[in-house]
Amino acid sequence: MPSKMQRLSQFLAFFSLLCLPGIAVSLEINFQPVAPGVYAYIGDTGMRSFENEGMNANSGFIITDAGVVVVDSGSTWKVAEKIHAAIRKVTSQPVKYVINTGGQDHRWLGNGYFKAQGAEILAASAAIDDMKARGALQLQGLTRELKDRITGTEIVLPTRTFTKKEVLHLGNREIHLLFFHGGHTPGDSVVWLPKESVLFSGDLIYVDRLLGVLPFSHTGNWIASFAEMEALQPKRIIPGHGAVTDLPKAQRESRDYLKQVASHMRRAVDEMVDLQAAINNLNQSSWAHLANFELLKGGNASRVYLEMESR
C-alpha cells in the first residue's frame, strides 16, 4: 500500500499535468429526456469561455418517425458535431431540420455543420437581419476566446424563414415555430409542441441565472412575448439558460424581473431622475440568488434606462 508521502506525490503529479499548457477541459454534450422523444441539453450558466466552447446555453432535439429536429445548432462547428454525436447515442434517425431560436452565437453558429449533413435550417425572418448585422462580430469574439476550437465555423444563415408562424409536420409530430415580438434579441422565437405541452423558449426565458439585457434588447417586446408564451400554458419549458422548468418559475425569474426593472426605469425617466440615481434606487435583491447577478445587474439597469429614454 502506498505511503502517505507517495500518495501526496501522485496527487501533485496529477495536478501538475492538469496545469500544463494544452491540457484543457473539453465540453461534453449529454441530453436529458423531457418528454417522450423530446430531449434537452442544459449548458453552462456562466459566461462564454474556452472551457465551455462558447456553449453557455441550452439546446435540444425532437425525434419523429421521419427524422430528427434540432433546436439550436450550438456555438461552433465542433459543438454542433458534439450535439450530433450525442443525438446519435439516442436515435439513429437523421437530422432533417435545425431551428435557430434567435441571433445569439450559441443559437446558430453551428449551422455549417448541420447544413453539411443535409439538414434544412429555419429561423424567424427577424433573426436573419440580426445574424447578418452581428454575425461577423460574434465570430470574431469567439475566435479570440476559443482559439483553435473555432476551427471550421463559418457564418451560415438559415435557408428557410417564417414571419410569425410555421407548422412543421414531420412523421408523427406537429411542431410549431412561433415569432411573437422578439426581446432579448430582435429575432427571438420559440418552438412549441402543443400535443406534449412542451416549449423551447430560446432566450425569452432564463432561470437559475440572471437574464441579460443587451444593447439591442427591448424589454417592452420581451414582456409582450412572455405574455404570448403564458397564453400557451406550457407544462414543461426548456429555457434558453438554466434547468428545465415550469411556468411559475419562469414567471418569477424572467417576467417579474423584466417588469420590475422596466417599471422602475420608466418612472425614473418620466420623473427626470438621472441614470446613476435611477440605478442606485433600483432594488434587484429578489434576484440576488441567481448566477451572474453581480456581473449583470448594473448593465441591465443601465440599458433599460436608455431604452426608456428612447421611447
The pLDDT, as a whole number, for residue 211 is 98
Calpha distance 268→244 (Å, rounded): 35
Sign of the CA dihedral with 26 first, then 48, 200, and 123 last: negative
CATH architecture of 24-248: 4-Layer Sandwich (3.60)
CA 241 from chain center: how many Å? 5
Domain ranges (residues) in the chain: 24-248
Give the per-residue pLDDT at 25: 78
For residue 31, the Cα-to-chain-centroid distance in whole angstroms is 15
How does 107-139 read in b/e, with b if 16+ C-beta sit within 10 Å? bbbbbbbbbeeebbbbbbebbbebbeebbeebb
Residue 12, pLDDT score: 40
Measured CA to CA, the distance from residue 225 to residue 179 in angstroms comes to 8
**How far does CA 201 lie from the centroid of its chain?**
9
Please say whether the beta carbons of 191 and 97 come within 8 A: no
pLDDT in tens, the chain (311 residues): 455 444 544 444 443 434 444 455 789 999 999 999 999 999 999 999 999 999 999 999 999 999 999 999 999 999 999 999 999 999 999 999 999 999 999 999 999 999 999 999 999 999 999 999 999 999 999 999 999 999 999 999 999 999 999 999 999 999 999 999 999 999 999 999 999 999 999 999 999 999 999 999 999 999 999 999 999 999 999 999 999 999 999 999 999 999 999 999 999 999 999 999 999 999 999 999 999 999 999 999 999 999 999 98
CA 295, 301, 306, 311 dihedral sign is positive
Contact (Cβ atoms closer than 8 angstroms) between residue 302 and residue 274: no
> Phi first, then psi: what are they for 240, rounded to 5°?
-70, -30
- Residue 147 has a pLDDT of 96
Q: What is the DSSP letter of 253?
A: I
pLDDT given for residue 22 in this prediction:
47
DSSP SS3 for 196: coil
Beta bridge partners of 32: 40
Instruction: Report the predicted TM-score, pTM, of the whole model to 2 decimal places.
Output: 0.91
